[in-house]
């Protein structure tokens, strides 16, 4: 009889846990978590970030002269992290130069304009009085560079993803098979927010691979850290001008 009581108790506990586990499958999409100091929190939250798309993490630097008159910074640094009883793990961290900051800006664009410098991998949101808010971004890898002037035509929270047929075919040839549809969420390569650029297939969007920020890594879209794209999303309206240079 004494042996039956522990078994009965374990069965009751297991049964009571099942509804909550089932309910978790249909929970709301995860909220955006913003670090107070904006220092690469998503790397620490996601760990190895099991995303659908695994792009090359090596930045392919372009040879043009940069718009910003500074040397090209190192994109990624690593930090050793060790939990109690666990082996040492090297986690990538973004170079602080790619974190949001207010900078002097001498361009002729009107306040509210988004300027994306694909040679230095910075996005500028032009402000008043010769200032701009600057963010680090990931841009098109070799063969996927582009430039032009467009408008923001749409904005979405936790956007879904439908890879273009050409991308699906191109990635399949490399042995990487993409889904035809992926709902918004932590596993989605478009991240927490998306701003749609004109009638193109390009977007300014978040990412589940924050270590790629600062590199030439995308198929033409402009990647931002999730914290940063949320910040930009709140500051920019549909109809804003986007200049990609």
Q: For residue 132, which of 167, 109, 152, 104 has the smallest C-alpha distance?
A: 104
For residue 99, how many C-alpha atoms fall within 13 Å in the half-sphere facing its CB? 13
173-194, pLDDT tens digit by residue? 999 899 999 999 999 999 999 9
Q: Are 193 and 202 in contact (CB under 8 A)?
A: no
**pLDDT (average), residues 35-41:** 42
State the pLDDT at residue 68. Answer: 43
Q: For residue 196, which of 170, 245, 229 has the smallest C-alpha distance?
A: 229
At 204 the three-state DSSP class reads: strand
pLDDT > 60? residue 49: no
Q: Are 136 and 73 in contact (CB under 8 A)?
A: no
State the pLDDT at residue 93. Answer: 78
Catalytic residue among 133, 205, 223, 225: 205
State the pLDDT at residue 155. Answer: 98
Q: Which domains does the chain have, with CATH numbers?
A: 138-244 (2.40.440.10)
Find where tokens 């040879």 sit: 63
Catalytic residue among 182, 221, 222, 230: 221
Q: Are 51 and 104 in contact (CB under 8 A)?
A: no
**221 in active site:** yes
**150 in active site:** no
Q: Are 67 and 106 in contact (CB under 8 A)?
A: no
> For residues 59 and 89, which has the higher predicted lDDT (pLDDT)?
89
Q: Are 15 and 21 in contact (CB under 8 A)?
A: no
At 243 the three-state DSSP class reads: strand
Distance CA 236, CA 53 (A): 28
97-136, pLDDT tens digit by residue? 999 999 999 999 999 999 999 999 999 999 999 999 999 9
Distance CA 90, CA 7 (A): 43
State the pLDDT at residue 53. Answer: 34
Distance CA 166, CA 9 (A): 56
State the pLDDT at residue 94. Answer: 84
């Amino acid at each position: 009889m004494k042996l039956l009581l522990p078994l009965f108790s374990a069965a009751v506990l297991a049964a009571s846990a099942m509804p909550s586990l089932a309910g978790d499958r249909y929970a709301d999409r995860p909220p955006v978590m913003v670090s107070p100091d904006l220092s690469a929190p998503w790397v620490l939250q996601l760990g190895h970030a099991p995303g659908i798309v695994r792009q090359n993490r090596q930045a392919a630097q372009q040879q043009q002269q940069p718009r910003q008159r500074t040397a090209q910074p190192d994109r990624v640094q690593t930090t050793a992290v060790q939990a109690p009883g666990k082996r040492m793990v090297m986690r990538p961290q973004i170079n602080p130069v790619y974190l949001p900051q207010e900078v002097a800006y001498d361009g002729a664009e009107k306040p509210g304009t988004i300027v994306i410098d694909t040679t230095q991998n910075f996005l500028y949101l032009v402000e008043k009085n010769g200032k701009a808010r600057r963010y680090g971004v990931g841009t098109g890898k070799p063969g996927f560079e582009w430039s032009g002037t467009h408008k923001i035509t749409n904005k979405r929270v936790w956007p879904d993803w439908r890879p273009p047929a050409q991308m699906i075919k191109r990635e399949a040839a490399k042995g990487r098979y993409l889904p035809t549809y992926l709902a918004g969420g932590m596993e989605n390569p478009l991240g927490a927010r998306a701003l749609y650029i004109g009638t193109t297939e390009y977007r300014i969007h978040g990412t589940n691979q924050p270590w790629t920020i600062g590199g030439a890594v995308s198929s033409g879209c402009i990647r931002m850290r999730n914290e940063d794209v949320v910040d930009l999303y709140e500051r920019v309206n549909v109809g804003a001008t986007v200049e990609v240079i």
